[in-house]
């Protein structure tokens, strides 16, 4: 594995760690309000699982981390928020470069 590929995995890993921390903070404040829909809980669990999967995949240098990043990137883009679209595009670009260089 070349140096660029390792930098991509490291970048994707730290992006996922930051998003995981932000998601935990958002969950805390959402659950504190006690107005949680069951669908929101499913969404949070799915996002947590995907982000943890990305982190584990990046640590082990596996290509499934990029596939999970594509899935969560699309989920961010679907939310139709400007910041979420930007984060989703960054995740998609990282995943694209990892998959492109993975031979």
> Residue by residue, what is the 3-state secondary structure of 50-70?
HHHHHHHHHHCCCCHHHHHHH
- Angstrom distance (rounded) from CA 100 to CA 58: 15
Of 33, 64, 26, nearest in space to 47 by CA: 26
**Which residues of the chain register pLDDT less than 50?**
none
> Is 88 in contact with 73 (CB distance < 8 Å)?
yes
Q: Quote the domain boundaries for residue 40.
A: 3-101
pLDDT of res. 80: 79
How many domains is the chain built from? 1
CA contacts within 13 A on the Cβ side of 29: 5
Q: pLDDT value at position 4?
A: 82
Dihedral (CA of 34, 38, 40, 44) sign = positive
Q: What is the pTM of this model?
A: 0.84
Q: Note the pLDDT of residue 52.
A: 93
The pLDDT assigned to 20 comes to: 92
């Amino acid at each position: 594995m070349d140096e660029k590929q390792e930098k991509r995995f490291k970048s994707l890993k730290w992006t996922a760690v930051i998003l995981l921390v932000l998601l935990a903070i958002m969950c805390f404040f959402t659950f504190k309000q006690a107005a949680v829909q069951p669908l929101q809980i499913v969404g949070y669990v799915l996002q947590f699982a995907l982000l943890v999967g990305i982190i584990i995949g990046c640590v082990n240098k596996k290509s499934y981390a990029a596939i999970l990043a594509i899935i969560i990137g699309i989920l961010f883009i679907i939310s139709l928020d400007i910041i979420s679209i930007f984060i989703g595009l960054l995740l998609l670009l990282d995943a694209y470069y990892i998959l492109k260089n993975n031979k």
